[in-house]
Structure formats: structure tokens, C-alpha cells
Amino acid sequence: MYDIFEIRKNFPVLDNVIYLDSAATTQTPVQVVSAINDYFYKYSGNYGRGAHRLARESTNHYEDSREKVAGFLNVDSSKTIMTKNATESMNMVALGMDWNSDDHIVTTSLEHHSNLLPWMNLKDCGVDITVVSPDDTGIVNPDDIYDSITDRTRLVAVTHVSNVFGSVQDINEITRISHKNGAMVLIDGAQSVGHFPVDVGSIGCDFFAASGHKGLLGPQGTGILYVKEPENLDPSYFGGGMVHSVTTSGFDIEPCPTKFESGTPNIPGVIGLGKGVEYVHDLGINNIEKHEKSLVKDMASKLSKMPYVEVYGPENRSGVVPFNIAGLNSHDVAMILDETKGICVRSGHHCAMPTLQALNVDGAVRASVGLYNTQEEIDTFIDAVSQITSLVG
């Protein structure tokens, strides 16, 4: 049984606000905070750098978290790299591949800036980029990906779920098409993992990036990069921990994932992320998906029936609903919701300017649900938006 009221006891901040900004960052359950506190209070030591008991225990907890993350994604833990966020994960791919001046990348205008700027930055190296447009609801047609692939295409980089529309892409088909035509695939899973089942092993993509602080309920400053064939990627950073041996004339690098994790990592953060994954697993990802989809479907349906409100995105969406109220700036709407009802929503460009430009709007209000939201909160939000629209009329 999905007991929403018991779940909410693990998120004390929800006593003070109606939080509808989980696409930006989810709230953190007390179990995650407790795991982080345990690290500092009970066994704080550096990772992989000592024979004493605190170093060993810290390393064991860190690696346990890696195993939990890899198991949740159905991938090999030895190919699962812990990063500081999804942005770093995707930049590591951009910086770590051996690009040629005639290489080609396919991506989409739907992307978060973190899955667009790293590829644009390669233009100085002579890499050519094709940006595919989605339809009006934020769905990318796999055939358009196929039509954009050439014999020079090295990589197809696409989001799993749009952080603006909540639209879910057919990444299985995109991956199949890309591989059939000799291109590698990177999936931005920041808005998908933790919200519905994601089997990265079955998808078969070459790279999968995700944030720890969103659907997986970990702390900020944590991320994931899965690399299917680590030998095809060079490390972006060099230093302590990632080398097997060093002399004054050279060095030998450890295998994956160690070779990509130089320096002291975010040990407490990764340990907290492991506890967040455990929390999501125990609730049941199918239960979470059912709960969130019910809320977001109701929200989108009721908003779309209001006068002066324009809702964007497909009917079948993940937990994100973007909208605008005629004549009002998105930031003003967000401020009114916060100041009158304590409702937290996002406003602006959502780090996806090309997406908003395609809609011919200068920003949008974005309400996004999490596993802890209630129907009563959605009803309060709908009433609040309705009151704002009455002022417009």
C-alpha cells in the first residue's frame, strides 16, 4: 500500500510549503540525512586512502552505494561512475572522447543546456552538430533522428524526459536506430530515473547520465555516469586516487570507475545517494509512477480547462506541467503562488532556452510533482491558479 501520509513524515519541510518543484530538486528524506550524519559522526574517513578502520568503513559504504545505484539501473557497477551532477557526467563524455574534425553529433532542441552546450562547445574542434526539433508537444520523432544521421555521426545525445514538457522520448527506438547506423548514444536521464522504471541495461545506450538529487532523492552534488565501454572514454581530470603507479616520467591509470574519480569524492553525498536509491526501491518504482502520473494528469487536465491558461506538452507525460497565464510574466505568477499559498513552482527558461523559443514565449511556469505530493495539494494549487486567472479577466 502506498501510504502517502506515512511517506510525508520523512520529509519535514513539506509541513511548511506545497512543493511543486521536484523537477529542479526533490526534497530529501530523513533517512538520507541520517545516513550522511552517520558518516560524519561515526566513521568519517577518506575514500580508498588508508588501511585504518575509518578509511575502510568509509570506502565500504561508498562502494555499497555504487552497487545500489548500478543495481537500480541494471548496469555493471564497475562501469558506473559517481560524479557531482548530470552536467558533469555529460561534460565528461564531451571532454573524454577523441573527436575528429569531421565528426558529427545529433541532438535535439528539446535538451537541457547541460546536454546541448557541451556539444556546441566542440564546434571549435571542427565537430558538426545537427539539432533535431520535436513536435509541438515535445516529442522527438525517431525517424527525424534517423534522417539526421550520416556516415560521420559519432554520437546521438538525447534526453529521456524533457524538463520543460515532461514528454517521454522513445529512447529504445532512438538507440536502436543510432546503433544500426554506427552511432553511439548518450541518454540524459535526469528527469526519468526514480519516476518510472528505467532499465539502462536493456536500453543498451553507450552513456547514461543522471542526477542524484532529483528522482533518486540523494543530496545535491551527486550524479551518475554509466559508460558501456569505458575503454572508449578518457578521463577528464587527473590526480590522486586514479593512478596505479607514478614515476617522474609517466603514470599508469587504474581501470574504470577509479580512473574517472580522481581526488577525494563527495563521500557523504554518495552514501546519502545510496540511501535515497534504497528508499525509492523500497517504495516501489511502479507505485511511484502510478502515484505521480495520477497527480500530473489531474493537474494538466484542470489547468487546460481554465480561461487564459495555456498548457504545453503531451497528454501522456511524466511529472511536469508547464503553463502560462495570458498577460502575466511567469516569475510574477510564481511569486503570487508562493506569497499567497506557500506554493513552490519554477518559472523562467528552465535551462532550456531553445525549447521556450520554439514556443514563442519568454519563459513558463512549471509545476512538477514528486512521490510525496498529495491530491489535496494539487487541488489547492488549482484553486490558486484559478484565483489568479480571475484577476486577468
Q: Which residues are catalytic?
A: 351
Q: In the beta sheet, which residues pair with residue 322?
A: 366
Q: Note whether 2 and 291 are within 8 A (CB).
A: yes
Q: Note whether 155 and 127 are within 8 A (CB).
A: no
Rounded CA-CA distance 158/162 in Å is 9
Question: Please, how many CA atoms are within 13 Å of residue 185, restricted to the half-sphere of its CB?
Answer: 25
Displacement of CA 224 from its chain's centroid (Å): 9
User: In the 3-class helix/strand/coil scheme, how is the chain assigned residue by residue?
Assistant: CCCHHHHHCCCHHHHCCEECECCCCCCCCHHHHHHHHHHHHHHCCCCCCCCCHHHHHHHHHHHHHHHHHHHHHCCCHHHEEEECCHHHHHHHHHHHCCCCCCCEEEEECCCCHHHCHHHHHHHHHCCEEEEECCCCCCCCCHHHHHHHCCCCEEEEEEECECCCCCCECCHHHHHHHHHHCCCEEEEECCCCCCCCCCCHHHHCCCEEEEECCCCCCCCCCCEEEEECCHHHCCCCCCCCCCEEEEECCEEEECCCCHHHCCCCCCHHHHHHHHHHHHHHHHHCHHHHHHHHHHHHHHHHHHHHCCCCEEECCCCCCCCEEEEEECCCCHHHHHHHHHHHHCEECEEECCCCHHHHHHCCCCCEEEEECCCCCCHHHHHHHHHHHHHHHHHHC
Q: Note whether 178 and 149 are within 8 A (CB).
A: yes
Written as nine digits, the cell of 128 is 558538426
